[in-house]
Amino acid sequence: MPDILSLTGLNKSFGAHKVLDEVGLTMKPGEIVGLLGPNGSGKSTMLNGISGFLPLDGGTVEMNGQDITGMAPHEVVAAGLSRTFQLPSIPERMTVRDVLQSGDARNGRASDMLKSLDADDLVETLLHEFRLPHVAAQPASALSGGQKKLLSVATALRREPQLLCLDEPTAGVHPEVRHEMIGILKKFNERGVSLLVVEHDMLFIRNLCTRCVVLDRGKLIADCPPPEELEHNPAVVAAYLGKSVEKGKVAR
């Protein structure tokens, strides 16, 4: 089976500032990989580059052996990759159900389990599993911050990705919702969705990810399973300037 994601030599600079420096990564189908790194290390830039939201200066992005480098965001979605943003922008006047409906991107490349549901069923399934049925008819503006994060992840899943990339899905979210999010993501992973997740919360990473990669100033400096190997990796500890990566939150 080809790798679900294969990145080679990704480079990106903003002016003289090199933000991605020869980044390479391969993910096997079904993997859940945590993408870590201090603030400003290039995590969001990397997700923007692979999902078509930002042109890269160099490197290749492949999904399932298909070269998707330089494709527009909607073409990347059609190839099977969807993503959320660090700061979700949700059309506030649409109802929660309509926001979810709008995520439709039937593309024939969905994971088998998701594909077995028809479009309306998938919306109802997502509402149910993200615990949003009671607010489905309300405008998205009525949602709490945590519910908006849940809705943004649900909407990305509505695109039936094979690979879901999440940018800090639980930042600013109540611990209870964070816990729910872990359960939901595990369930979709069992249904065949691979996950690449930017996250700072160690408990979240420990409970969800089987493997972590760490960016520091645009370079990948570690690739190991959490938590022990990560916490004792000298390059990772140095990247976080000696701040503890053990006690709850990873320092930013």
Nearer to ligand ADP by C-beta: 41 or 162?
41
Nearer to ligand ADP by C-beta: 45 or 189?
45
C-alpha–C-alpha distance, residues 215 and 39, integer Å: 10
Nearest approach, Cβ of 100 to ligand ADP (angstroms)? 26
Q: Torsion angle of alpha carbons 225, 226, 231, 234, nearest 10°?
A: 20
Binding mask 109-138 for Mg ion (x = CB under 5 A): ------------------------------
Stretch in the footprint of Mg ion (CB under 5 A) among 19-27, 85-93, 169-177, 201-209: 85-93
Q: Is 139 helix (H, G, I), strand (E, B) or coil?
A: strand
Nearer to ligand ADP by C-beta: 41 or 233?
41
Nearest approach, Cβ of 85 to Mg ion (angstroms)? 9
- Any residues with CB less than 8 A from the CB of 128 and at least 6 apart, and which? none
Alpha carbon 221 to its chain centroid, in Å, reads 20
Binding mask 16-45 for ligand ADP (x = CB under 6 A): ---x-----------------x-xxxxxxx
Interaction residues for ligand ADP, span 36-95 (CB under 6 A):
37, 39-45
Nearest approach, Cβ of 204 to ligand ADP (angstroms)? 16
C-alpha–C-alpha distance, residues 54 and 33, integer Å: 22
Task: Please count the residues of this chain forming the interface with ligand ADP, following the rule CB under 6 A.
Answer: 10
- Whole-angstrom CA distances from 109 to 114, 116, 121, 187, 192 are 10, 12, 18, 19, 12
Nearer to ligand ADP by C-beta: 37 or 80?
37
Q: Give the DSSP letter string of 140-185.
A: GGGS-HHHHHHHHHHHHHHT--SEEEEESTTTT--HHHHHHHHHHH
- Whole-angstrom CA distances from 238 to 36, 37, 93, 224 are 14, 11, 45, 16
Stretch in the footprint of Mg ion (CB under 5 A) among 7-15, 80-88, 177-185, 212-220: 80-88
**141's tokens:** 């503006």
Nearer to Mg ion by C-beta: 43 or 178?
43
Nearest approach, Cβ of 228 to ligand ADP (angstroms)? 24
Which DSSP category does 191 fall into?
T
Nearer to Mg ion by C-beta: 76 or 166?
166
The contact set with ligand ADP (CB under 6 A) reads 14, 19, 37, 39-45
Which spans of this chain sit near Mg ion (rule: CB under 5 A)?
43-44, 86
